Structures are given as structure tokens and as C-alpha cells.
Structure 1
Amino acid sequence: MSDAEFGCEHLRDVLERDERAAGQFHQSLLHAYKGQPPKPAEIRSLKPFYPCLECSTLVNRDSVTDSRTNTIFCEGCDDYVYDAELESFLFDPSGLKKRKHGDPETDDDQAYVGANASKRVCGKEGVRGLFNLGQTCYMNVILQTLLHDPLLTTYFLGNNHHTYDCTVQNCISCAVSEAFAEFNNDDKAEGFGALNLLLASWRSSPILSGYQQQDAHEFYQFLVDKLHAGTEDHVEDHNKTCRCFFHNAFYGKLRSSVTCDKCGNVTQMEEQMVDLSLDVQVQKKKRALGGGEMSTTPTLDGCLQSFTSPEKLMADAYNCSGCGNTPQKATKQLRIRKLPVILCMQLKRFEHTLSVSEKVEGKVDFPLSINMLPYTTRTHASNNNNSFTYDLSSAVVHKGKLDAGHYYVYCRQGEQWFLFNDDQVTAVNEAEVLSADAYLLFYTLHALSGSK
């Protein structure tokens, strides 16, 4: 008998125990499959309820079914299991046949199932979904991104935030630290809900409170700001040098240079940045003005080039100090003065005008690795190119309309990519990640050594 004949050895024991036990199991499975879901008032837990398939009650037993997906969860295996004959039974209960020894599937089918089946298909380290607590997919995708970053994992699991003696009310750092501890709990593999982070966010920001959909990009900015503010050695004034962990991890610096077209006077200003907001339409607009081809797919490199390219300012937008503070035409250029370790890039898909707010659809090509040197204030190549090389770690996608969409995220765990759609986790390949219509891209510095 091959392993593929039954979902697992525990399921085999139930179905082969006797005809009465097998019959009870089949009837319970059919009832769970066709039954009505529980009413909201009956749900007392964020986790799915599991009706037992051996006694039909809501208790933990060897074999239960997930109320959301009707898939069978085996408590003995501590994992979901798949049984082809039970799936056939659900579609045609009248066609149930007694399993017999010596009557296996064909050799070819057995070879296929054996090569593609695993009793622990989701039992991978660092792969846990997050329950949607009510329009909280925006929070889940950002939290998954942070949970899969090795630098942040080292920080929080290393007890660098002392939750045991923290006296800050509604502390975001405590809530995130708790999420890291739960996520890396080796004794659990199922999804969990980041309820304390949600509540702390609501209490810290009235804008976030409630079950309405939020912008994942804005939540990322809020979370980074709160983590920075919750560090003991942080400097509140962003115009002063801050050497705290989160400042170095998340914050970079932009330099704005304005050159007077008349006298050549240069005015420079620097400001903190926690991400780069890139216009995905600017390349198409420039090609349209120049009579170029508009069908070419925009690229991340092209968006960065447009972001750091010189921009002409009209005379009413700039007063030159070298020309007696009189209005002059000038050229403005943005460059990156300092890069953070974790670089977030927003591909601006939400446009707001006085008359309308709409979402900009369209694919933007992005790479698995990118050299950020051409977009910095450095004029010459560095001896240490690793200081500017970034690897893709996460890609957040928004599907749907502006005010009624859904977020999911692709995250890299080691060398493998996974799709996290709330508590549903799926292994994917690089090609699927690169074909995504990303909204937020997170890149991590390839090597932490060297100066920027």
C-alpha cells in the first residue's frame, strides 16, 4: 500500500477501523462540506472552528475540517492532509466505494502522486499566515514584510525592546515584538492574528481606528515612525543626527538641489526619507510629449531615473538669493544622499485631484536585485559596490478598486518565495513574483558592511 492511498496514516486508521467508524466519518465530512457557516455571534475566536469528523462536535480530535476551506486537518500530523477518494466522495456521495488492499491506483498515477505529494507541504520554517481581523489586509502585508526581514528578526528576538519593563501605553514596539515572538514559535504552524498590534495602532492613531480599509503605504510610514519613537536612544528631531537602530534601518536622506538658470547659484536642502514615491506614469507622459512609443512597460529603473532627473521650475516658483531674491527660472534635481538598510519604494497607483480620485493600473517591471548608486549624490563608483546593491525581499500588491480593494504580499524566506494572502500561504516561483502588479517594493541591502 502506498502512502498516497490515504491522506495520512491517522486517516487510514479511522477509515479502516470498521464500517461504522468509516460511515460516521464520511457523513460528518459531507455535513461539514454542505452545512451552513456559523453566525458571526457564534464565533468567539479569530481562528477557524474545526468540527470533528469522528464525533461531529466542535472539539479537537484526530481529524477535523477547516471551517473556511473545508480541507481536512489532522491533529496527529499537525498539518492539512489531502485524500483523493474523499474529494471524489464530496462531489459524488453515491459513488463511494470501499477501499481494498491490492487495488491501488495505476503505476503512473502512483508515481505522479508520490513525486508531488508531501505530508508537510506547508511545514516550512518561517511560514505562517495572519488572520484578517476585519479589513486588516493592509496591516498584514506590512507585518509579513517586517517578519521576514533577518535584521529585524535578530533585533526583536534578541530582546532589544524590553517588553517586560516597558511602561509606554499602547506601545507599538511591544506589539511588534510580540508578533515576532509568535511568528517564530516553533511549536505552532497555523496562522495567528496580530490583535494587539491592531489595537495599539487604533489607540495611537484615530485615523487608523475602525474596520475601514487603509492604505498599506501609510500604515508602513506610521509603523516605522512609531518604532523609531519607541527606541530609548532615538533623537526626535529628524534634522539632527540619530544613530538608533530603527533610524539606520528605515530612514534615508534626500538632497534637493536648485540651480538658478541665470546666475548658476545652487541652493541645497536635505530631508529625511522613509521611502521613495515613484510616479509610474511619468515615463509614459514624457514619451507622449516627445512623440515616443507609449506601449512600452515602465520599469523601476526608469521610474528612479525620472525621480532623480533635472526638472525645470518656472520663475514664479523660485526666488534666487544670488539675483537679489528675484523670481528666476531654475532647475531642480533630487538625489539620494543616504540610503537606509531597508528601502521601501512606492509605485504611486492612487491619484487624487480636485475632481476625482482613481487608481492607476498597469505593470511596472522590477528586478530581483538593483544597484542604487546611479541615483545617489555619489559622482564616482564606490570601491564597495555592496554598499549600493539591494535585493528584493517583498512585493505588496493591491487588487480591486480604490476604496474596496484587497492587499496580498510576496515575501522571500531564504531562497524560496511565498504568497501571503492573509492566513493563506502558497509557495511560488520567482517568475510569479516578478510578474506581479506591485504597489510597494521592499529591497534590503545586500551586505551590511561598508559605508554609504
Structure 2
Amino acid sequence: TTVSPIVTSRRQLSDHIFSSTPISSSTTNILPSTKNHIHHRIKSQKMISNFPDILCIQLKRFSHDRLSNRTIKLNTSIIIEPEKILDLSYLHYTTWLGLRNSSISYHYRLIAICLHLSENSSSSLSSIHLTKRINDHYVCLYRTDHNQWFLSDDERIIEINDINNLFQTSYVTENCYLLFYERYL
């Protein structure tokens, strides 16, 4: 059998161990014996029981417009720091239980990003001769084992020398779609 790496926990909001999305602002429970209403504010927290070697994060970049009955792209700017090491230990269920295992690595570093350019994208990188395509198009930024970054599309592979500047452009911040992180020791 397959076990999901996601563990769900519900805690009262007075417990500020984790920050998460509230299930509702008020949930009513009826006690069978007294029929009194008791209001509790609760939240849901997702935790990881088994950390993968490669962590893939998909950003929600699309929304359905009910008025036009069309899917529209969300160009919200996302700040991504290519050299930042993510510490995800707070998401591991053993941390929540106070049983953190120091032999397990909870750290990840960015190794690749998929960018989605649509017909509504205004982004281009003329400095590296990559401009917007006619319709939907995907490109990939990836890190090699030698810590060098490349951009790849359907036609070419381009070495990127100044990755920090590239990650600050709207080309990346408004079009990143999939983020791939590798467990980092």
C-alpha cells in the first residue's frame, strides 16, 4: 500500500505553533447532552511525514473567469531566491510531536524552475535572445551539478551567468510555474 507523505492536524487557534489557513472563522459543535452551541476557531495544518529527495512545488497560476467562462493566467509576482536554502523542519510531523530526528535533512535548495509564457505574457529577455512566443510556451531554468544555471527552450540552451538578476526580472517572477527543490545536506 502507498502511504501519503501528507499528515493533517487540526488544532485550536490558541496554539500558535504553526501558521496555517483557517478552516472557518467559527465552527459550531453541538453537544448531544445539552444541545448548547460551543464556538471554536480551528485551523488545518498540513505536515510531511516523509521528505522526498526532489520536492516539486506547483504554483497556482490560473483562475477561471466566470463572466467570460475562460481560464486566465495569474501574473502575480513571486520572489524566488536561487541560493536560499529552505528549512522545512517545521513541516515535519516529528517536530510537531517534539521528536525531531537530527539525522534527517529538512533542507532544500532550488535546482530548476519551469516558466509558462502565454499570449498574455509581456515578458521577454531580449538580452539573451529569448522573446515571447505566439501562444503557450514553456521554458526551463536549471542548475547543474557544478552550480551553473542554464535556460532551455524548444530551440536552444543558454548559459546564465547572472542568475540573481534574472530571478528578479518579471520574466521569472511573473511566469514561474513549477519549482523543483533538491534535498540539501
TM over 0.5: yes
Counterpart in 2 of 1:351?
63
The alignment's C-alpha RMSD in Å is 3.3
Contact 1:308 1:335 in 2 (8 A): no
Residue from 100, 104, 108 that aligns with 1:390? 108
Q: What does the per-residue CA deviation read over 1:327-378, in whole Å, with 9 as the maximum and x for residues that have no partner?
A: 9543122232222221111221111253353211132112332111133331
Q: Give the aligned partner of residue 256 of structure 1.
A: 8
Q: Counterpart in 2 of 1:361?
A: 75
Distance 1:387 1:397, change over 3 A: same
Please list the CA deviations of residues 408-436 of structure 1 after superposition, one character each: whole Å capped at 9, or x if unmatched: 00011112111011131000132255332
1:335 corresponds to which letter in structure 2? K
Which of 435, 439, 442 is 2:177 aligned to? 439
Q: 1-side partners of 2:90 and 2:166: how far apart?
A: 25
Q: Structure 1 residues 440 and 433, CA, compared in 2 at 3 Å: closer, same or farther?
A: farther
Counterpart check, 1:409 vs 2:121: no
Q: Could you tell me the percent identity over the aligned residues?
A: 22
The aligned residue for residue 8 of structure 1 is none
Residues 368-413 of structure 1 deviation map (CA, whole Å, 9 limit, x = unaligned): 32111133331456534x61111111011111247x4211000111
Relative to structure 1, is the Cα distance of residues 373 and 260 closer, same or farther in structure 2, using a 3 angstrom cutoff? closer
What amino acid maps onto 2:44 in structure 1?
Q
Q: How does 1:30-69 map to 2 (within 5 A)?
A: none
Structure 2 unaligned residues grouped into runs of 5+: 121-134
Whole-Å separation in 2 of the counterparts to 1:330 and 1:389: 32
1:342 maps onto 2:41 in alignment: no
Which residue matches 1:279? none
Of 340-349 and 432-441, deviating more is 432-441
For the structure 1 residues 431 and 351, does the alpha-carbon distance in structure 2 shift closer, same or farther, using more than 3 Å as the test? same
**How many pairs are equivalent?**
151
Checking the alignment, whether the CA contact within 8 Å between 1:370 and 1:391 is kept in structure 2 is yes
Which of residues 141, 151, 154 in structure 2 aligns to 1:419?
151
Report the residue type matching 1:375 in the other structure.
Answer: L
Runs of 4+ displaced beyond 6 Å: none
Please give the alpha-carbon distance, in whole angstroms, between the structure 2 residues aligned to 1:382 and 1:425: 41
Deviations 1:133-192 (A, max 9, x none): xxxxxxxxxxxxxxxxxxxxxxxxxxxxxxxxxxxxxxxxxxxxxxxxxxxxxxxxxxxx
TM-score calculated relative to the size of structure 1: 0.29
CA deviation map 1:197-238 (0-9, x unaligned): xxxxxxxxxxxxxxxxxxxxxxxxxxxxxxxxxxxxxx4xx4
Gaps of 5+ in 1: 1-234, 242-251, 265-306, 448-452
SS of residue paired to 1:348: coil
State the distance in 2 between where 1:259 and 1:334 align.
8
Matched, 1:400 2:118: yes
